[in-house]
Each structure stands twice: as C-alpha cells, then as structure tokens.
Structure 1
C-alpha cells in the first residue's frame, strides 16, 4: 500500500489559479510521481482581523490528520497541525508580524506589539522539534527571517514554477507581471520609466489592492500599459516577447517570476533589497541587480534596449539556472525527511530515510 501523505494548505480552495495554488499542485504532482498517495487539503485561513487570525490558528491545530502517514505544511498557520510525522516546507509566516511590521504599522501600538509577540510564540512552538520533524524553506530570505525572529534553522530548497509552455521570442517590451500590491513596488518601475530614454513600452499585468494607485501614478505616460488579469497563454506571450522582466519587490520570499523569465530566455532586473530575486539573479550575468533607485533602474533598461544581444545572452544563462531547480529535488527531500519509502520517476527501487528501513509511523499512532 502506498504511504498516505497530506499536504495541508492554508487557503480557500476556490478553484482560482494563482501562485499559491500552482505551488500546491506542483508539490502534489511531484510527490505523486514518487509513488506516494497524496491528498491536498485546503483549509480556510482568514487574516481580516486579529480575532480571525486566532481562529485560523485554532482551526489548523484542531485538524484530525490521523489517517495519514506523513503531513506537509507550508505557510502560516498550517504548521499548527498536530501529527507525529510532520515536516514544514515554509513559504512564509504572517509577514505583517515579522519583517513587514514597521512597513505596515510604523511605530505600532501596545496592542499590536502584544499581537506580534503572540504570533512569534505560537509559530516558534509549532515549528520547533519535535512538533515539526524538519523545516525546509523555499529560499534563503525565508530561512534568514526564521533564524532572526524564531531562532530556528531551515534547509533551503528552491522550487520551480508549475506553469509550463514558455517560449523564446523577440526583445520588444519591458514586462512586469504579478500582484499589484505595494510590497511589489510597481511604483518603482513606473518612476524608472520617467528616466528611460529608449522608446520601449512597459507592460504591467495583474490585479491587486493598489492597482488604482499605480495607474494614477503612471497617468500621462503613453509607454506604460496595464493589462489587468491575463490568461496563462497571454502571460507566456508577454514573457516571450519581452526585452527584460522587471521584478523589484521588497524582501520577496522566492519570486517565481524570476524563473519564468529565465525559462523564456529573458534577463531580470531586480533590486538589492528585493530578497530572494537578488540572490537568484547574478548581476551582469542573468540580469541586473541595482539599488532601489528609479534612475539606476532606467540606466540598465537603456543599456539592454541599446543591446538586445546582451539581453539574449543573459536570458540563455538564466535558462541554465532555471533548469537546475526541479520539483523532483523538492519531493525527494520532503519524502526522505518524512522517512517514507518512495520510488523515483525513473523507476528505481523504492527508497527510505537512508537507514534501510521504513521509518514512517503507523496511521494508528498519529
């Protein structure tokens, strides 16, 4: 009988396809490819106010997962689950109570500091052994944050995008996909365009809370175009025909946009304080890493616009980088940490936790 694994996802399970949904589907498919019986469990999580946050934490704590041999969680508050064989592949904690606390709340208040302290206490207790057998992180940015705020270590394994069908095309426009939210700093790209001398268009796709604010900021610049939501087919098309992809968030956890650009043979422009993208992009090799300064960004845009061959060379090197990041590596690491026997897609013999024995606990002990 195949080992039964539950991936516990914090979300709505509404059927809408976004980055988080692609993450869980990619992880599920990769584990199934190892001949594991995998169930994706969406459980509601509400962050509209602090009472809702506490209710969400309790909801995951109360889940009955005794039918499974192993459990994998990712972002807050899913890792509050109770199971004797639990590993966490951490996407992120609730960042408003971590690195983005001052960005969102300024100096804060006594109540907000109490809320933050409670979240830190709960997260640390939930992620510490033995409640969590092992922690993996999707990037160095997440692992660093975990060490800083929770005093815990994590093994870093980056994962690829689950979107497919990327193609290489001409170097025509600048492209900035993603959520239109202040943390993504779309305004930085808009401001950079005021300094760009080349006759190049900036296409911005996606929706989000700050869409109207960004559109107002870009008003009057005919070179900036907002598309709103786009289909996967159109998204791939915009990547295909881009000169470069702009991705300049603040302290990003991973940022699959970087890998999607690379798979399309395109360089990425990011910033030194953008988190994981600034680690993935090698400055001058697979793109440019600049200061978060509109003029500095514009200078690199003009450099690529004047030399599309350079953009092509960078894109090809980025493609090599993206090829090294696979879902199989992620799945093998997680299955090994759970001590579950598995079979690689190549058809190799079943593998275990390295001890030569099946280390999984029985479902009855869960």
Structure 2
C-alpha cells in the first residue's frame, strides 16, 4: 500500500513537534511495515489572510491520487481530495477556533456590501465548487482593501472562510476515519464533525538516547514564547528553597524578558539551542521536568521526560500534558499559580525518593506509547478495503461507500423510548456550575423511561456540535447568531449586567440555525422540558401541541427582581420575566420547584395551587462524593497547605473554600469575602469558580487565593481538604447546590440564612448560620469548634436522606411518565 502523509511546510521554515511527528510516522511505516510511505509538504505561509487563502487553494487543488491512502493532520492539508483520506488531527487553526479573540465579530456583516457575496456562499452548504468561489472573492477583497480589519488575520472573514473550508476537508465522506493526538484535542468544541467516531492515538517521541538516569536538576525545553508560560515557571522556581538548578533549553521571542526575570537567581540557566544528544542527556539527569504550557495540544516534552523515568510537573489547564500526568502517581498536576507550582517543586527537592518513584511510574506509562501502535491503528484494515474498492470499480460497481468509522446515524443514539427534548440557554455537558450540574445529574436519570436530547443555545463562542454524552442522551449545541448576540449585548450594556438568559427567547428567531435544529428535534418529541423558562417561545412556536415540563430552578421573578431593581431597563425586563415564567408555570403538565418556599411563591404569583408543584431540590451524587472528616481531613489540610509554604504568608493553618459561578450573587459574595479575609488571618481563603474573573486582580488580602475555574480533580481535593465551606450569599432563589456539596463531603459549613434557603438546615446541628456582620466571627468560631466532625456527620446524613440524586430523580421520571398521554 502506498501511503502519503500530506502536510504544510511552515513559512518561514522551522522544525517543531509536528514536523518531528510526521517524520516519525513516515519512518515507522517504512521501517516497520510492508507498506511504503512518503512525506509530501507544500509551502504554506499564513502571515495574513491573503497568504492563508493561497495556502488553502494550493491543497484544494493538489492531486495525490497516485497514492492508495492519504493521511493529514494539520490545516490546510486536509483540503486534498482523495477517496481514502484519514485525518489524524493535531490541531485546527486555533486563532480562528478556540483562541479566536473574543472582542472580534465571529461573522462578517452581510449588510457590508463588499463582503455580501462571499458571505452568501459561506452560509450555504459547503461544496468544493463553493470553496473555489469563496477563495477567489476573498483574495480579491484582501487585494483591494488590505488594511480593513474585517479582512484582517485573525478577523471575521478569515474565521468564517476557514470554518467553511475545514468543513469540506473534514466531511465524513472525505475523512473516512478520525484520529486525535490527545483527549484534549478530541474534546475541543467544533474540532470534529458531529456523530463521528474519534480515536485518540498518543504520539511517541523519536528522540534517541532516552532512559533512566540521575535526579540532579530541574529541566525543561520549549519555544520561549508566551503560551509556554516560562515566566510563571521562573517566578515559582524562585520560591523553591535549596540549590537544585533550573535549566531551560530553547529560543524564542520571550528570551530577553525571561533572562531579565531570572536575573539575581544564579540557579536559573537559559541554555538556548541544544542538540538532540544534549536534550536526551538533560532529560536523563533531570530531577523533574516542569512543563506548564497553556492548553497544549499534546506535549512531546512530557512524553520524552516520562521515557527518561523523569516526573513531569504540569498544570490543570495545560491540556495534553495534563492528559498524560496522573497527579501524585507519575508527576504533579497543579493549579497554574506560583504558589502551587512552587509547592510541587519544593516537594521534589525536599522528599528523598519522590522523584524516582514518580519517574518509575511515568516510564511505565510511556512504554504504552509506541510507533508500532500508532502505525498499526493508522493502517489497520485499510489495505483490504482499498483492494475491495479497486476490485469493485473494475467490475463496474463503483467505489465502495462504506467507511471504517461511519458517522453515527442521526437517530443512532436512540434506545426506542419516548424522546424528551430539553431546551436550555446554556451548554449542559460538561457540567461545571450549579445550573449545569442540576440539569446533568437530574435529567440523565430520566433515561430509565425516556431518550433525552439536550438542545442548547450556545454562546457566540461555541461551535455547532452534536455528541452522545451518555447512553440514551445526545447533546446538540447551536451557537447564537452574531445578530442575536449583538442584540443581547445591547441589553447587557443598557442594564449594566448580563441578561442574555432573560432576552434569549426574544431574539431566538435571529438564530436561524438553532431554530432549524429545534424544528427537527421537536418533530418527534413526546415532551419539552424547560431548564429555566426563557426558551418557552421556541416550544410555543414550533411545537404548540407538545406537552411542556417546567423545571423551575428558581423563582425567577423574585431572583431577577433582586438583581434588576433600579437598573435602566430593569422594569421592562422584569415584566418579561414575569410573563414568560407565568406562562411556563400555567401551561406545564409537570411543574417542579426546588423548595416548598419556591412552590408557595410561584403558586401565589401565578394563580396555581402550591400542591401542584413537585418538589425537586438540588442534590448531589452521594455515592460519588467522598466523605472526609476528623483526623483525615486535618491531614489533608496540612498536605494542601504545604503547597503554599513558600508564599509570603506564613502561619496558615486552615482552609476556607467558596465555590461560585459567574453569577451576580456569587460575585458579590466573593467581594464580601475579600473584606472579611483579614479578620481570619490563619485561614487560606480559596475562591474557586467563574466569579473570580470579576474580582480585583491586585491588592488582595495575603490569605486569599483566587483559583478561578478548577477541574473536577481540584474541586474534589478542596472538598477533601478544606477546614470549612463558605456560602455568604444574600440573594438567590431555589436551593443552593454548593451547600449540599459541602455537606455531602463532610465539610463544616458557615452560611448566611439566604445561603441555606429551602434546606432543612438546623443551626449548630448541620451548619453554622450567620448574617454578614457576624460572618467573619462565625468563621473563626467554626474553625475552633471541636464539634466539627459531629456537625459534618449530621450534614452527610441529611444529604443521604433527602438530597441524593438517586432518590430525587425517580420522582420526576415517574411524574413525567404519568402526565404524558
């Protein structure tokens, strides 16, 4: 079998990880199989949109039909047209996908006459004929208006054009099988077509001379630029005690700044370029390899370190390296902060034998990543298929249409049960914040009786995607249109707060792709389930006869009234909230409330009986939540705080944690904790979640650690290690999910009465309740209270009895089944 690896050649030319990977694949096929393989590279500049257009055109017209199989992994190479074309994705053009600047428009404005013609092509089903026309028009526009920001790179025309072109290159009838370099790449929204199977193939290194050695110094190697975050590494390393040096190999635009940052610490050495032989020797002599890039596609450096029995220290947001490293097993995965990094490096310096133990586990992990395994999967079954296709063509039957990995049929996820469509103004899976967690844990339990479709109106930064997220559950995401987004932003500016959920239904007709998807999805739905009331208009317009289930996460009119009162446009929006919530309550065949208080308020406001509400409180997966208390929690606290031992703040003995999404009540709660923090000087106050992006970045109290968005792994570590859990909210409706999570984990709680709303929490038995003026004092008292373990046990029992999803969800499932005809 004749195989071609088709790839772009960077202009100006450099040799990076992709180039080494392509050469490794070619060599492995030629040396280890009966097949022959050639690397075909075409110069592909992309310094501006004009160059990018020409590069895409080059591959679009490239004839590679003299090969039996074509493999591509990077733009624009996948534009080649070949009947046996597999994609082994390294990454898309990230600056036009997941790292596209948020301040730029996502699409061109069709009202701009200059781009109207190309925009019309880009918004029709993609074809190769359309691709040539769009490229011609785009090139002419750039030549005429070279300095127009609409035609810049990155910019809205380039983004829309590349998405159109890539959808052709990735079309299931052209990219027969799909492979991904890492779980990180496979998970990125919009990287793969909906309903296709994606297999992760981890790439080994072809660097010679790797193997176990001595543990003498910290070493890392990479291009010296911003995304590699070597500045963060140097800042953290300067806090590490001892004389173990840090050696950094590589060159790049940040070199001068990094040398300035390292000035005064003779332990830091920037080596510049090193040969392959020197690189292998550095790996063998390393105590550890800290490799902390931001959202790296794979992380060949981590693979090479592991192959040298050297532990890797990486970050929770580092992408591919974090996929490789199992925290505490073959390295460390820490928060991207100087304190966390310094803590991990300090442990390696101060704990004899730790590096060798972690490195030995890493070596075992690396042995599973082989060229033989990669090539076997890339060529498996291909020769037989190609011969069969050729034989059928000779017999006049035409080429076979079957693919090794077929796109899943549009309804291939169905299990034969009645379908319930969940309409949501946000993406549900993966679940991070309170609303997502409720939707995911509650609605997935409905699959005992129903097939569930999540139809999510995504943000403008999301991509259209379709994914089977669990047996019997599919999630379809369609982003808001640019026009829809702009209208929502106008309301945000007018009111001074984010109100996109409230006005989503007002402008949803402008998101024509979402409405088209909703039309198709609701056609065979047995019921519509509203997660919040704000997309009720979609159901009313497209499926007026389909029964509605309303899951009231809050009493929206009460909650929004607290937030919008006195704001410009607030009264108008509150009228809308009350109208849409009232219709959802009154028209639903099943209506839920998170608490009896909410049911009473909703019933009174909208003229329905309180008893008509099914009480479905927020819950937690009790079986999946580790209960930790007493001495074990104290030991966890000590270990966690050891990571902060090099901070300027000394004497920290306890941890107080607050989890909060980017939601106004949580943001205000975070600000209050900044004011309270100095009154609890012996506690590290960890603020986790999206609310931290709205807090000040500088001048924070010394004992406050804003962690930002955290992974599930870090969240579980905090729930196991914190001394107390905090909930100082003074606004809200429904029941508070974070409080239930605290109680399930055995974490003693300090909360305001509002934070405990709707829950049968007894002061002094399950939690400590305090109003804001006394909140700091209550934190101090709770930390000092020897009765914390008893309170933790009582809280866990309360959750097991009343707030376990396994107990809550069947009630909703049964109610829906009983209400449907």
TM-score by length of 1: 0.89
Gaps of 5+ in 1: 341-351
TM-aligned CA distance change 1:89 to 1:146, over 3 Å? farther
Question: What does residue 123 of structure 1 align with?
Answer: 166
Give, in angstroms, the shift of residue 259 of structure 1.
1.1
Report if aligned partners of 2:185, 2:191 keep a CA contact under 8 Å in 1.
no
TM-aligned CA distance change 1:180 to 1:151, over 3 Å? farther
TM-aligned CA distance change 1:41 to 1:148, over 3 Å? closer
Question: What does residue 328 of structure 1 align with?
Answer: 372
Alignment of 1:278 with 2:322, yes or no, is yes
CA offsets per residue over residues 82-113 of structure 1, 9 Å max, x none?
111100111111111122223xxx51256212
Question: What does residue 210 of structure 1 align with?
Answer: 254
TM-score by length of 2: 0.40
CA offsets per residue over residues 28-52 of structure 1, 9 Å max, x none?
1222222112111111111111111
Question: What does residue 90 of structure 1 align with?
Answer: 89
Counterparts of residues 198-237 of structure 1 (less than 5 Å) = 198-237=242-281
Report if aligned partners of 1:120, 1:150 keep a CA contact under 8 Å in 2.
no
Candidates 176, 185, 194, aligned match of 1:142: 185
Candidates 186, 189, 195, aligned match of 2:230: 186
Report if aligned partners of 2:348, 2:355 keep a CA contact under 8 Å in 1.
yes
Give, in angstroms, the shift of residue 168 of structure 1.
2.2
CA offsets per residue over residues 326-349 of structure 1, 9 Å max, x none?
111211211126x21xxxxxxxxx
C-alpha separation between the residues in 1 aligned to 2:373 and 2:10?
28
Report if aligned partners of 1:11, 1:42 keep a CA contact under 8 Å in 2.
yes
Report if aligned partners of 2:171, 2:193 keep a CA contact under 8 Å in 1.
no
Report if aligned partners of 2:291, 2:302 keep a CA contact under 8 Å in 1.
yes
Give, in angstroms, the shift of residue 149 of structure 1.
7.4
SS of the residue 2:179 aligns to: strand
Give, in angstroms, the shift of residue 150 of structure 1.
5.2
C-alpha separation between the residues in 1 aligned to 2:179 and 2:192?
16
Give, in angstroms, the shift of residue 361 of structure 1.
4.1
Give, in angstroms, the shift of residue 134 of structure 1.
1.3
Report if aligned partners of 2:12, 2:45 keep a CA contact under 8 Å in 1.
no
SS of the residue 1:196 aligns to: coil
Counterparts of residues 60-139 of structure 1 (less than 5 Å) = 60-102=59-101, 106-109=102-105, 111=150, 112-139=155-182
Figure out how many residues of one structure are paired with residues of the other and give that number: 346
Using CA pairs under 8 Å that are at least 6 residues apart, name the structure with larger relative contact order, 1 or 2.
Answer: 1
Report if aligned partners of 2:170, 2:193 keep a CA contact under 8 Å in 1.
no
CA offsets per residue over residues 252-299 of structure 1, 9 Å max, x none?
111111110011111000000000111110000000000000111001
TM-aligned CA distance change 1:16 to 1:250, over 3 Å? closer
SS of the residue 1:20 aligns to: helix
SS of the residue 2:353 aligns to: helix
Question: What does residue 27 of structure 1 align with?
Answer: 25
Alignment of 1:298 with 2:297, yes or no, is no
Candidates 350, 358, 362, aligned match of 2:387: 358
Candidates 2, 5, 8, aligned match of 1:7: 5
SS of the residue 2:74 aligns to: coil
- Greater alpha carbon shift after TM alignment, 288-297 vs 325-334: 325-334
Report if aligned partners of 1:252, 1:276 keep a CA contact under 8 Å in 2.
yes
C-alpha separation between the residues in 1 aligned to 2:169 and 2:251?
33
Report if aligned partners of 2:219, 2:288 keep a CA contact under 8 Å in 1.
yes
Gaps of 5+ in 2: 109-149, 400-821
C-alpha separation between the residues in 2 aligned to 1:274 and 1:68?
37
C-alpha separation between the residues in 1 aligned to 2:40 and 2:389?
20
Report if aligned partners of 1:126, 1:132 keep a CA contact under 8 Å in 2.
yes
Counterparts of residues 253-272 of structure 1 (less than 5 Å) = 253-272=297-316
Question: What does residue 37 of structure 2 align with?
Answer: 38
Give, in angstroms, the shift of residue 201 of structure 1.
1.1
Report if aligned partners of 2:186, 2:192 keep a CA contact under 8 Å in 1.
no
Report if aligned partners of 2:207, 2:280 keep a CA contact under 8 Å in 1.
no
TM-aligned CA distance change 1:176 to 1:152, over 3 Å? farther
TM-aligned CA distance change 1:9 to 1:152, over 3 Å? farther
Report if aligned partners of 1:60, 1:78 keep a CA contact under 8 Å in 2.
yes
Alignment of 1:250 with 2:294, yes or no, is yes
Counterparts of residues 172-183 of structure 1 (less than 5 Å) = 172-183=216-227
